[in-house]
Amino acid sequence: MEATFRPWYQQGWFYAFISLFLAAVLVLTGYRLSGPVFLQQLVNGLTIGSFYALIALGYTMVYGVLKLINFAHGDLFMSGAYLGFTFLGMLIGAGLSGQLLWYLLPIFLIVMVIVAIAGVVLERTAYRPLRRAGRLAPVVSALGASIFLENAVMLIYGAKYRSYPKEVIPDVRWAIGGARLTLMQVAMLVTAFLLMAALYIFIHYTRVGTAIRAVALDHDTSRLMGINVNGIITLVFVIGPALGAAGGIMVGLYYGRIYFTLGWVYGLKAFTAAILGGIGNIPGAMVGGLLLGIIEAFATGFVSDAWKNAIAFFILILILIFRPTGLLGERVAEKL
Amino acid sequence: MALLEIENLHTYYGHVHALKGISLTVNEGEIVTLIGANGAGKTTTLRTISGLLRPREGRIVFQGEELNNVPAHEIVYRGISQAPEGRAVFTTLTTNENLSMGAYSLGGDKEAIEENRRRVFKLFPRLEERKNQIAGTLSGGEQQMLAIGRALMARPKLLMLDEPSLGLAPMLVKAIFQTIREINEQGVTILLVEQNARAALKLADKGYVLETGNIVLEGTAEELMGDERVRKAYLGER
Ligand SMILES: Nc1ncnc2c1ncn2[C@@H]1O[C@H](COP(=O)(O)OP(=O)(O)OP(=O)(O)O)[C@@H](O)[C@H]1O
Ligand SMILES: [Mg+2]
């Protein structure tokens, strides 16, 4: 068969370039129009977007290896938020409310481990038995798992809002060009960036990370290489939920309150971000998340909060019309 | 000594009885070819040996050990690797990453992996020129080289090749078959599945002819090339 060459206007780099160019134009005009609002929304958008990105990674990685949308992923993220709340509460109960900051790292680690275990259990019980049952049955199973987790949290913690302790990260603020940057935002951005950079390096520069990409392409050929495909799937159900759990605590810290339907609200956005970036594509989920956060923040800043979802989804639809595989999703050039 | 011994192998796809009791022997150091028309069951045979399909009956014995219940991902650790039908390179990975995946079973043994990589590049210099290229953008012939090279990265005792000549120009088929001979001379036993019977029999020591799930003929390559039925059905003579 003929080799499938894609012309320049269908190449990923072309769209990356266009996106960058548009972003630059937007930044410059936006800044001229109203500098402070613009900067402020950029910072807010990046922060929220980094939450979306962390959650989106779980959707996209599971989709990569199983071609399955893990609808319960948002609820794993939400469980992470509640677990963080519980552990912080326990520390406060132990009279350590002054030192919460120093316990954040261990709390993150413990919660990530617990939610990762939950993710693995979810895969074993809800998805693995249905591996050969077509594509619809696992979707129903995923929805069931989602409802189960949501109700479990509601029964344990109640249906009302719960508040994260406010004093965890010191309230330090800086004024930059009329915008306000908080230590909280910096902490969130740095944490998200470190987690994503670590994942990127793992996926691209290690043997097992490369095996994850191989499994996403072809299970049988991966087995021929000696890759334990079920092991890789388990690993993906460790990494995705762990990152989601970190996102959960971060959302709790940042917004200060959590509720049991948090998983649906953020799950939908993060799923959207994953599609935007190209589902199955790991850098795509990162880009999609940040982009969605920024779009939402600008919609809020320049139009109104009420319109942000409408505008965000309008842009999503536009992008998908012109690039159905998402921004970084590439149709693989296949040959016979 | 028999390296691989298959006895009375039956494999099914649901109700489709694809292998109807085939037996074959591959001795150490040989090139054995399995020829047959479309749908004869050649790929099914290799996939069953690799553990991707489970036989319902029969035995697969490699180096004296039964493989029937060994999971697919452990077969390569026993010393069998396969370049599957249609190449099946990992399209979004680079040439080098594909080769690294071929050496997955060597674990973290960097030295052995790099040594194997050098050997593969020596067999296929073209791959070295294109080591950082995304495999999906390689030409068909280059992808075939990559598929074979990737299978070699595990340092197998038995290399199984599923139609390496598929879709390649005659010149390239010749080159690839020459390389297969070289690989064999380096001590790798080869089980070669082919529709291109002429080229395969020229290369092989021994051959089996598969028809709709049964082995209908077997013998040395010369015997098969001289056989009336083979000449008519597979070598295109009248
Ligand atoms: N996944 C499958 N489900 C059902 N039947 C299958 C499947 N794969 C192969 N078969 C059937 O099994 C038989 C053997 O197929 P196989 O792929 O082994 O043939 P082959 O000899 O490799 O042919 P070719 O030269 O065309 O590759 C065929 O009749 C085919 O239709
Ligand atoms: Mg075949």
ipTM: 0.95
How many domains does chain A contain in total? 2
Q: Are residues A183 and A324 in the same domain?
A: no
CB B19 within 8 A of CB B48: yes
Residue A325 lies in a domain: yes
> Does position B31 have pLDDT exceeding 50, yes or no?
yes
B27, β-bridge pairs:
B2
Top-tier CATH class for B1-78+194-238: alpha beta
Nearest CA to ligand 1 atom 18: B41
- Within 6 A (CB) of ligand 1 lie B 13, 16, 18, 36, 38-44, 85, 195
Q: Are residues A291 and A270 in the same domain?
A: yes
- Closest by CA to A315, choosing from A277, A279, A276, A287, is A276
Q: Which of A202, A229, A257 is the last residue of a domain?
A: A257
Residue A161 lies in a domain: yes
What pTM, to 2 d.p., does this model score?
Answer: 0.91
pLDDT of chain A, 336 residues: tens digit per residue: 334 455 666 566 776 777 777 777 666 666 666 667 788 888 999 999 999 999 999 999 999 999 999 999 999 999 999 999 999 999 999 888 888 888 999 999 999 999 999 999 999 999 999 988 888 899 899 999 999 999 999 999 999 999 999 888 888 999 887 888 999 999 999 999 999 999 999 999 999 999 999 999 999 999 999 999 999 999 999 999 999 999 999 999 999 999 999 999 999 999 999 999 999 999 999 999 999 999 999 888 877 888 888 888 888 888 888 888 888 876 543 333
The model's pLDDT over B68-88, given as tens digits with 9 standing for 90+, comes to 999 999 999 999 999 999 999
- Round to whole Å and give the CA distance between B42 and B212: 9
CB A45 within 8 A of CB A293: yes
Q: Are residues A165 and A248 in the same domain?
A: yes
Which residues, at least 6 apart from A181, have a Cβ–Cβ distance to it below 8 Å?
Answer: A43, A173, A174, A175
**Residue to mutate (ligand 1; options B13, B48, B192; most atoms within 8 A of CB):** B13
Residue B40: pLDDT band by 50, 70, 90 thresholds?
very high
Q: Are residues A86 and A208 in the same domain?
A: yes
CB A179 within 8 A of CB A40: yes
Residue A156 lies in a domain: yes
Q: Are residues A162 and A274 in the same domain?
A: no
B209, β-bridge pairs:
B35, B217
**Scanning the structure block, which residue is given the tokens 């809800």?**
A126
In A67-130, where does DSSP find H-type helix?
Answer: 73-93, 100-122
The model's pLDDT over A61-81, given as tens digits with 9 standing for 90+, comes to 999 999 999 999 999 999 999
Q: Do B82 and A224 touch (CB under 8 A)?
A: yes
Q: Domain range for residue A265?
A: 261-329
pLDDT for A173 equals 92
Helix count (H) and strand count (E) of chain B? 10, 10
Q: Which of A206, A239, A257 is the last residue of a domain?
A: A257
Q: Which of A222, A257, A292 is the last residue of a domain?
A: A257
Q: Do B136 and A332 touch (CB under 8 A)?
A: yes
Question: What distance in Å separates residue B192's CA from the closest CA in chain A?
Answer: 16
Residue A7 lies in a domain: no
A9, β-bridge pairs:
none
Nearest CA to ligand 1 atom 16: B41
- Round to whole Å and give the CA distance between A197 and A286: 10
